[in-house]
Structure 1
């Protein structure tokens, strides 16, 4: 009996020391004195009880198949860190494929235990993104063990101080990410939300306050003489993302024998028509360009020469004629060259085509294109003239068999049919076709038909369906 009392007394002393050490480790330098003051007011109440082993299962959250045959993605941003609490549908990270950016959300409630990848890493479909300790418990039917539980009773005056020392800051993953980007320690920020939750406004106020501080002028030191020139080093950059897909596609395109054809169109009449219709387009919040007219003329010409809207079967035995005119438009985005396509141009009005052009261009620049916008193309147009240049040598995008490049519209002197010199709006056009199934004469007739429609837009109205 005496031995049992001595053992219990030693055990309680050890547990109390461990508790005090835990509080000291949880405090920073400024709060050590506060910890020691509060420590004397803490009463430890302990009792022995028998309980089952309780545990929180840790599951691996893997990258699921996001469709369109995508096998790998680039991890562009983490919205959580190890130790963060997440709920179902909270944002975990953002990944980018060659076709679109996708935000990955959590399927579990729990705590992030491990991040398996760094930003800019390539993640394969099926690989683990994070480990999540999910909320739940399980009983061990084979073994009971004796545990010591401790309950801490604190004076009400010191309860708030204890919470400030030991409690983890409450904040959403987005707020934690914002704090991290601005090098702020979120655990030191007093939140204004419920239960002390740190809100986005708290972070922005701190940032705004730091920006308003006067900036010290740097001390100008005398220049240090340079004894030797340090040679520049070569930079090695891995090929990934959109550029990697472009490398694969253009390697395949190099296997296609290209036939080139160039011409120039007089768009003087189209310039006048567009000028008259710009006011009408503004009623629909559309900034009308020349491209919708050109795309519609291309579609009308594809109806007459359907072999240009086809592809070759994998076994090289058949030509597959496409029923829809899904015309891709090249977009020069900060993330690389994109080729979203306007679906069923043959069934759309010029106004509807103009709306789709603006939507796809804006989405491409913001990296917000949907995978469906980037798939199913049957013909392509590159509007290189919006940047500059006249003629180009466009490269076919497999499995398509033809592509066109539009040069900039120039005001040049030209003779009319009566021999009089006049001012003309000239656009140079370059075509490339798969010479395995398309003859030069076919491409020439196709281009002439587009020229016929664009040089007198009233003909487009006559033949529109």
Structure 2
């Protein structure tokens, strides 16, 4: 009888494991709903802390959500392409321990970046960056992340840093092969040979035409919804247009000379890094083009950072990631960052960090084949430039002789409430001067 009672208590304890409703927490920027892009689990799967559960997409970026609990997935509350609401359950998880705090706020990871999400931890006013796997390794070895020096980008803590720290504490020698096993995957920009243009361009395949014979209505989601909101807000800005042409013959020669050097360092060098850096140098002289006007049109903010965006045609539609702090970067640094952004765009993995905070934008419509454009300002920015394709055309040299010249057209749009035509013209002339005589940029590089 005693044995039967014990078995009954045991079976009751097993059958009554607590079930947690894993809710979608606030992911910021006023976002109240997201689209479920992909499930990484199914009902009945066993998950551990930091395991990826699903990827959701807002009108800002894609976000990977990871589990806080060890347990078993009991229910998925949404289908793929379903709309999930902030504060509502995503999945139900049967946890393995009743001692866990079941109803605390769920964790949403930062925007997906090449499948290598990182989380932030506040330590004495500073932020440490590390992947969930690295954090778990630190917890298992009782290591405080605040005591580890990160060697990754932006001081991100890598698994190698944890192992090195552990080796110093214990005196152990970590075999080199172990480091090779735990090295994070190479950046997407380096996943293919530099000489392969497909790594940095949109897929060349053209979708086959589809004729259904009937009308199809579907809701706007994700980036398309964001584009509707942004362009509707842009129509409130009185646009001023200005166009000019540049002779890039010297820049073409310089790029041809520097290209193999950059490729030797694993970076593809296009014309865009020069266009972006020249824009930054010019913005130093005309800071009003790197400003923003508040909604009440009462105050203007001059931005200290030159976060220059590049309108990009991606698998998810038109996106505008930006290169942060161009005023502090070299042309090579800009090229390196562009390679990373283009690789993320090709993979559909641009996150909030890449897509937010822009202060000035260039749109390279010429990469597709256009010559002229009428660009639309991206609020809250004050100006944008559209670059046409580079064409070999006849021009007169200083001696009056007809020569081959590499000509590119540029079309500017500026917020005419705060930028007048003369200012836009002078900025364009300085930008043009840097690019037509790229050696002059050397004098002003920091």
Give the match's secondary structure for 2:394: strand
Instruction: Please give the per-residue CA displacement for 1:214-271, whole angstroms capped at 9, x wherever unaligned.
Output: xxxxxxxxxxxxxxxx981101121000110111001000111111111100001111
* 2:5 matches 1:49: yes
- 1-structure distance, mates of 2:28, 2:212: 47
Give the match's secondary structure for 2:378: coil
Give the match's secondary structure for 2:41: coil
Shift of 1:101: 2.3
Task: State the partner residue of 1:238.
Answer: 219
Shift of 1:84: 2.3
- Contact kept, 8 Å, 1:100 with 1:367, in 2: the verdict is no
- 2-structure distance, mates of 1:355, 1:71: 35
**Higher Cα radius of gyration:** 1
- 2-structure distance, mates of 1:283, 1:454: 24
Q: Aligned match of 2:42 in 81, 103, 110?
A: 81
Aligned pairs for 1:109-188 (under 5 A) are: 109-136=70-97
Aligned length: 330
- Contact kept, 8 Å, 1:68 with 1:371, in 2: the verdict is no
Shift of 1:369: 2.1
- 1-structure distance, mates of 2:238, 2:307: 23
For structure 1, the 5+ residue unaligned runs are 1-44, 139-229
- 2-structure distance, mates of 1:137, 1:263: 69
Aligned pairs for 1:27-426 (under 5 A) are: 48-49=4-5, 54=13, 55-136=16-97, 232-426=213-407
* 2:422 matches 1:441: yes
User: TM-score, normalization: structure 1?
Assistant: 0.68
Shift of 1:279: 2.1
Instruction: Please give the per-residue CA displacement for 1:64-101, whole angstroms capped at 9, x wherever unaligned.
Output: 23344433221011122222222222221111223332
Shift of 1:321: 0.5
- 1-structure distance, mates of 2:4, 2:287: 84
Give the match's secondary structure for 2:388: strand
- 2-structure distance, mates of 1:464, 1:105: 43
User: Could you say if the C-alpha distance between residues 268 and 72 of structure 1 is closer, same or farther in structure 2, counting changes exceeding 3 Å?
Assistant: same
- 2-structure distance, mates of 1:63, 1:386: 39
User: Could you say if the C-alpha distance between residues 409 and 231 of structure 1 is closer, same or farther in structure 2, counting changes exceeding 3 Å?
Assistant: closer
Shift of 1:136: 4.1
Task: State the partner residue of 1:211.
Answer: none
User: Could you say if the C-alpha distance between residues 350 and 121 of structure 1 is closer, same or farther in structure 2, counting changes exceeding 3 Å?
Assistant: same
- 2-structure distance, mates of 1:137, 1:264: 70
Task: State the partner residue of 1:206.
Answer: none
- Contact kept, 8 Å, 2:60 with 2:226, in 1: the verdict is no
Give the match's secondary structure for 1:264: strand
For structure 2, the 5+ residue unaligned runs are 100-210
Shift of 1:420: 1.1
